């Protein structure tokens, strides 16, 4: 599944300072029934964005006009726990986001994000708090995520922190490549290996 | 350095190590179901790729399937569409497919082991986080995303960094009424839902050695709920006894060869783990959750803990209790419930039905409770009938449904209505997990049964036969 290359992203951000946000909140299971990858952005955080009668919950950050168009979401600790549904990562991307910042990510969600072109940026909890404080004080706060240099910066103050990503995944994100491109290139090596497996 | 069980199995599957990147890991067994596979097949087709080893992938329908009247067409057009897509894709690529009504059909993590597909020392993946279940056999098994499903279909490999190792030791004897589910919920309550993130767990000690294969599957199933990629238990005689003779298990000379390899699958005495934790079996009570993640669990006789205002999670904790409509300090015992769900890949096996029946035998379902008893597979249904458990279920006023994921995740018709309180043997109590607005208390089949006949949250130790 091709995605747009990621290099340096400067954007305002949606703040979601809630811990243990699970994938059933990011995209509830009843919206996993498509057989194509379309429309997942509409149901991103469906039950936190909308009441059961379909009216929007205006106080929820993703519904606030003041943050509209942001490409970054800053989430609380242990973001994306729960299910392996890649639909959660698709819904992040399809909603228009390219980057999620948190002080801690659940494992499968992080991996799924990297596979679909969403950059998971893990920062210290102190820096995450700085980001939340800055956004809540000024919703127009811009955050710069620099993938080549692996830094995330509060543009207004210059406060910055570096983040980890392995070189292979970084190159993929910078070039819009994915793992299948890599694996298809080593097909012969894989089929030779397959012959050695007992079952 | 001496190897752990995990090292031995992982290292045997590394095709190559990518410099400053992940390992290319060969996958022996791949399960697919209707929800997370259709887009993978679309991706495969759009790139012009083929399924390279169709005999290593197994398809079963479970997430969307109704649990009554499975002989009738599926009413929900979106579910029917996904089920059709699974069947069509399986047929097109020569993948074995156990659809609705097939005698081998059931929840993917129940039918894999039942049919001898799950083997020690194998790498097993599925687009479902509870794939960790298969670790009970000494396999490395974990959930993957749809992009990875496509990778496995088109290359039989995925690319993953090797996780760190964590061994959880529990020695001693479990108390009366304490089940494998309680052991897992206890560990998660101690570790929190992120405590094992980045790790692959090995469970060791008396408690797991003495546990049945069904129990080990329940524990490994819940590994993901402590954040771990998966969990595994070294294979032993119980493992071999369970596998031997199953339809797709190795036979004859292949069996001998497999046994020879499997007997090497254990952590060396001086193997080092990145992290090691120990708990005392005697400390574990029948458990129940009170919040909106599986880490929010307590002994069923305990009260809901008070939040710590200095904790950064205090706001999230209060939000969670507000959703549940519970207060700090309240007792869980005696809370009136509306629904009971027995089933899922966590507790939908024969042993779970035996435990449930032990409590309901000679008693009646409480009038205020709607109960859904959903076996994990047709084989479990057959076994229930063979043992006469269906008669106990019937006399107690319960109804046995047909296999599927059911009320675990509200993708099918079995949804808990908004505001209703459900005691559920499944694996997640997230907001809305069992239906929008539903409130879930995770517990063992024993707690579920005791609550089902009492109509309120009940300690099963007061009712054990």
Kindly report, residue by residue over A32-67, the tens digit of the pLDDT. Answer: 999 999 889 999 999 999 999 999 999 999 999 999
CB contact under 8 A, A182 and B129: no
Chain A residue with minimum CA distance to B116: A199
Q: Which of B39, B315, B432 sits opposite A36 (nearest CB)?
A: B39
Residues 255-284 (B) with a CB less than 8 A from some CB of A? 257-258, 261
Going along chain B from its start, the domains and CATH numbers come out as: 5-262 (3.30.499.10), 303-462 (3.30.499.10)
Q: How many CB atoms lie within 10 A of CB B16?
A: 14
Asked if the structure places residue A89 within a domain, the reply is yes
Asked if the structure places residue A199 within a domain, the reply is no
Residue A157 has pLDDT above 80, yes or no: yes
Question: For residue A158, what are the domain limits?
Answer: 8-194
DSSP string for B67-83 = SS-TTSPPSSHHHHHHH
Residues B199, B450: Cα–Cα separation, whole Å = 35
Residue A199 has pLDDT above 90, yes or no: no
| Cβ partners under 8 Å of residue A184, min gap 6 | B49, B154, B155
Q: Based on the structure, what is the number of domains in chain A?
A: 1
The reported pTM is: 0.97
Residue A1 has pLDDT above 60, yes or no: no
B295-335 pLDDT, tens digit each: 999 999 999 999 988 887 899 999 999 999 999 999 999 99
Residue B344, both tokens: 């899922």
Asked if the structure places residue A2 within a domain, the reply is no
Q: Which stretches in chain B have pLDDT values below 50?
A: none
A63-119 pLDDT, tens digit each: 999 999 999 999 999 999 999 999 999 999 999 999 999 999 999 999 999 999 999
Return the exposure string of B65-81: e unless at least 16 CB atoms fall within 10 Å of the residue's CB, then b.
Answer: bbbeebeeebebebbbb
Residues B26, B201: Cα–Cα separation, whole Å = 20
Asked if the structure places residue A126 within a domain, the reply is yes
Residues B339, B348: Cα–Cα separation, whole Å = 17
| Cβ partners under 8 Å of residue A120, min gap 6 | A99, A100, A102, A105, A109, A110, A113, A114
A156: domain CATH number is: 3.20.19.10
**Looking at chain A, how many residues does it have?**
199
pLDDT value, residue B465: 66
Q: Where are the alpha helices (DSSP H) in B26-135?
A: 38-46, 77-93, 108-114
Asked if the structure places residue A1 within a domain, the reply is no
Asked if the structure places residue A142 within a domain, the reply is yes
Residue A187 has pLDDT above 80, yes or no: yes
Kind of pairing, strands B275-280 and B164-171?
parallel
First to last CA, chain A: 30
CA dist list (Å): A25 to A1, A68, A91, B68: 24, 20, 11, 28
Partners of B312 on chain A (C-beta within 8 Å) are 19, 77, 125
CA dist list (Å): B458 to B58, B399, B420: 40, 21, 17
Complex ipTM more than 0.90, yes or no: yes
Asked if the structure places residue A123 within a domain, the reply is yes
pLDDT value, residue B1: 60
Residues 2-21 (A) with a CB less than 8 A from some CB of B? 17-20
CB contact under 8 A, A179 and B85: no
Asked if the structure places residue A87 within a domain, the reply is yes
């Amino acid at each position: 599944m091709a995605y747009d290359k990621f290099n340096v992203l400067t954007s305002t951000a949606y703040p979601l300072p809630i811990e243990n946000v699970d994938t059933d909140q990011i995209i509830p299971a009843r919206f996993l029934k498509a057989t194509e990858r379309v429309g997942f952005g509409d149901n991103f955080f469906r039950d936190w964005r909308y009441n059961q009668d379909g009216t929007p919950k205006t106080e929820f950050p993703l519904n606030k006009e003041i943050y509209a168009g942001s490409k970054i979401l800053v989430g609380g600790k242990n973001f994306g726990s729960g299910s392996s549904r890649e639909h959660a990562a698709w819904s992040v991307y399809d909603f228009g986001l390219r980057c999620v910042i948190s002080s801690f990510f659940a494992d499968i969600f992080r991996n799924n994000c990297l596979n679909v072109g969403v950059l998971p940026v893990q920062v210290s909890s102190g820096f995450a708090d700085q980001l939340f404080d800055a956004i809540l004080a000024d919703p127009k706060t811009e955050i710069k995520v620099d993938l080549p240099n692996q830094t995330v910066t509060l543009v207004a103050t210059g406060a910055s922190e570096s983040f980890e990503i392995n070189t292979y995944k970084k190159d993929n994100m910078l070039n819009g490549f994915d793992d299948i491109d890599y694996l298809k290139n080593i097909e012969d090596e894989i089929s030779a290996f397959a012959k050695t497996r007992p079952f | 350095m001496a190897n752990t069980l995990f090292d031995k199995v992982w290292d045997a599957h590394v095709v190559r190590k990518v410099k400053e990147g992940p390992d290319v890991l060969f996958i022996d067994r791949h399960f697919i179901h209707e929800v997370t596979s259709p887009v993978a097949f679309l991706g495969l087709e759009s790139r012009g790729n083929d399924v390279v080893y169709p005999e290593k992938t197994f398809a079963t329908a479970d997430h969307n399937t109704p649990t009554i009247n499975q002989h009738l067409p599926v009413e929900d057009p979106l579910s029917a569409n996904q089920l059709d897509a699974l069947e069509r894709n399986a047929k097109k690529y020569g993948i074995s497919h156990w659809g609705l009504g097939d005698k081998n059909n059931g929840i993917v993590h129940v039918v894999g082991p039942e049919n001898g597909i799950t083997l020690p020392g194998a790498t097993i993946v599925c687009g479902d986080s509870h794939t960790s279940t298969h670790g009970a056999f000494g396999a490395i098994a974990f959930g993957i995303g749809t992009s990875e499903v496509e990778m496995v279909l088109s290359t039989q490999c995925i690319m993953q960094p090797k996780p760190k190792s964590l061994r959880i030791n529990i020695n001693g004897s479990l108390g009366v009424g304490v089940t494998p589910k309680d052991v897992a919920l206890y560990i998660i309550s101690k570790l929190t839902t992120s405590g094992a993130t980045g790790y692959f767990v090995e469970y060791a000690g008396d408690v797991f050695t003495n546990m049945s294969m069904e129990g080990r599957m329940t524990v490994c199933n819940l590994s993901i709920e402590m954040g771990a990629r998966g969990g595994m238990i070294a294979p032993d005689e119980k493992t071999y006894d369970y596998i031997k003779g199953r339809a797709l298990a190795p036979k004859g000379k292949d069996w001998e060869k497999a046994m020879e390899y499997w007997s090497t699958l254990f952590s060396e005495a001086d193997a080092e783990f990145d992290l090691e934790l120990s708990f005392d079996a005697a400390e574990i009570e029948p458990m129940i959750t009170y919040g909106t993640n599986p880490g929010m669990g307590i002994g069923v006789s305990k009260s809901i803990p008070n939040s710590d205002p200095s904790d950064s999670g205090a706001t999230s904790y209060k939000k969670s209790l507000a959703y549940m409509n519970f207060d700090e300090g309240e007792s869980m015992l005696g809370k009136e419930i509306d629904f009971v769900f027995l089933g899922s890949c966590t507790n939908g096996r024969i042993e779970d039905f035996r435990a449930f029946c032990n409590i309901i035998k000679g008693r009646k379902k409480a009038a205020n409770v709607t109960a859904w008893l959903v076996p994990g597979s047709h084989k479990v249904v057959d076994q229930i009938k063979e043992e006469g458990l269906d008669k106990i279920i019937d006399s107690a006023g319960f109804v046995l449904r047909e296999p599927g994921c059911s009320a675990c995740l509200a993708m099918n018709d079995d949804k808990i209505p908004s505001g209703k309180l459900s005691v559920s043997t499944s694996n997640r109590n997230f907001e809305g997990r069992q239906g929008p607005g539903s409130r879930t208390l995770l517990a063992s089949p024993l707690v579920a049964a005791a609550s089902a006949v009492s109509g309120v949250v009940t300690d099963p130790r007061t009712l054990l036969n």
